[in-house]
Amino acid sequence: MSSRFSALRHSQFRRLWIGQSLSALGDGLVPVVVALAAIDMGATARGVGFVLACSTVPRVVLMPLGGLIADRYPRRAVMIAADAIRLVSQVAIAALLLADIENLGLLAALCFAFSVGVAIFRPAYSALIPDTTGGQDLGSANGLVSISVNVGYVAGPALAGIILIFGNIAFAFFIDALTFALSIATLAGLHEHFSGYHEISLRKQMAAGRALMKEQTWLLRGTAAFGAFNFAFAASLVLAPVIATNRLGGPEAWSAICVAAGIGAVAGGVGAASFGATRPVVRAMVLLPAFAAEPIALATTTSLVFVCLGATLSFAGISASGVYWAVALHSQLPERQLALASAMNQFGALSLTPIAYVGAGWLAEAMGDVAVLWWTAAIGCAAPLLTVRSAAMVRLPDAAPEAYRDRSRT
C-alpha cells in the first residue's frame, strides 16, 4: 500500500477515519452557514464577529479541561458525549431558523454550546489517532485525517450553495446534526487500548502538563507562533464573508471562496501525506505563511477568480502545516499526557482569536478593511518565520513512531 494510505491497514483507524470523514461533511457546512445566518439576521461585521467569538471562547477556555478529561477517561466515550452535545445544539439552531426567530444573541448562545462540544471532542480525537495505529504510520494517518476534513470543507460549501438556492439554510444545520449521529454510531463499535489515567489528582495532572510544555521548548514556541497566526487568521475570517457578500457577488461568492479554500486544503493534506514526515516542526512553520495569499487577494482585487486562487494557495499551506504539526505532537509526546498537551497547545494557539473576532469589525471601521487585511497577512507571515529560526525548532529530531510506542508502555 502506498505510504500515503498506509494508515488504512489498521482496522481501528479505518473505522475512526470513516466515521469522522462523514462528520467532516457536516462540519464543512458550518463556516459558511453560521456567518450567513448572522448576516440574515441583520448582523454587520461586528455582529458576525460576535457570533464567531461565541463559537470560539469555549474552545479556548475549556480546551485544557477537555484534555484533562480525555487523559483520565476512555477517549472513545468522551468523543461520543461531545458529539451528542453538538448534535443537540445544531438541531436547536435549525429550529431557530425554521421558526424565523431573528435573535442574534440566541444564535450566539447555541454556537457557544456547540463550541463546548468541540472543546471536549478535539483533544480526545487527537490523542486517539496514534492509539488506533499503534504509533505507526503517523504521517499517513494525520494526512488522511486532514484530507477527509478538508474534503468536507469542499463538499460542505458546495452543498451549502445548493441549499441556499433551493431550500432553507436551516437544513444545513439538520445535515450537520445527522453527521454527528453517524459519528456516534461508528465510535460505538471502536476499540481502544487506552482506558484512562487516574493515578494522580486533577491538580497534579494539570501541573504535569504545564511542566511538559516548559520542558518541550519547541512546543511552547510553536504554540506562541500559532497563537499569533490564529489572531491574524481569525480577523481575516470576519472580514472575508462580509467583503465577499458586499463586493464579490453575494452569499454565492463566499460559498465559492470556501470551496476554493477547501480544494487547497485537500491538496495540502495530500502533499503532506505523500512527502514523508521528516523535520515536521520546521515544515509546519515554513508552510504557514502561505496563509497571506487570501487576505492579500481580498485587499488588492475585486476579481472573484483571483480571490479564489488566493484562498486555494492559502489553505494548502495551512493544511500541510497542520498535518506536520500533528505528526510532531503524536511522535514526540507521551501517550498519558497527549490529550492534555494537545489541548494546552490548542488553548494557547486559540487564546487570541476571540479578541480578533470581536475587534476585527471595529478595526475595519476605524482603519478600513484593506488596511486590516494587510496587517493580518504581515502577522501571519512573520510569526512562524521568526519562530522557526530558534535552535529548539531546528535541532528537534525527526518524528519517531518507535519512541511513541516505547513511551506508551511505561
pLDDT of 403 above 50: no
Could you please report the per-residue DSSP string of 143-201?
Answer: HHHHHHHHHHHHHHHHHHHHHHHHS-THHHHHHHHHHHHHHHHHHHT---S-----SS-
Count of positions (residues) in the chain = 410
As a whole number of angstroms, the longest Cα–Cα distance in the chain is: 59
Whether residue 370 contacts residue 302, with contact meaning beta carbons closer than 8 Å, is answered with no
Specify the 3-state DSSP secondary structure of 400. coil
- Taking the C-alpha atoms of residue 85 and residue 81, their distance in angstroms, rounded to an integer, is 7
pLDDT of 158-216, one tens digit each? 777 777 777 778 888 888 899 999 999 999 888 777 655 666 666 777 777 777 777 78
Mean pLDDT of the chain: 82
Specify the 3-state DSSP secondary structure of 41. coil
pLDDT grade for 59, boundaries at 50, 70 and 90 = confident
User: Which CATH fold topology does 3-408 show?
Assistant: Growth Hormone; Chain: A; (1.20.1250)
- Taking the C-alpha atoms of residue 196 and residue 200, their distance in angstroms, rounded to an integer, is 11
Phi, psi of 103, rounded to the nearest 5 degrees: -125, 95
* pLDDT value at residue 84: 96
Q: What is the pTM of this model?
A: 0.75
* pLDDT value at residue 194: 61
State mean pLDDT over 94-117.
88
- Taking the C-alpha atoms of residue 5 and residue 270, their distance in angstroms, rounded to an integer, is 10
Burial bucket for residue 342 (CB in 10 Å: 0-12, 13-18, 19+): buried
Question: Which has more confidence, 195 or 272?
Answer: 272
pLDDT of 278-313, one tens digit each? 778 888 898 999 999 999 998 888 888 999 999 999
State mean pLDDT over 117-139.
84
Whether residue 231 contacts residue 356, with contact meaning beta carbons closer than 8 Å, is answered with yes
- Taking the C-alpha atoms of residue 289 and residue 265, their distance in angstroms, rounded to an integer, is 14
Specify the 3-state DSSP secondary structure of 102. coil
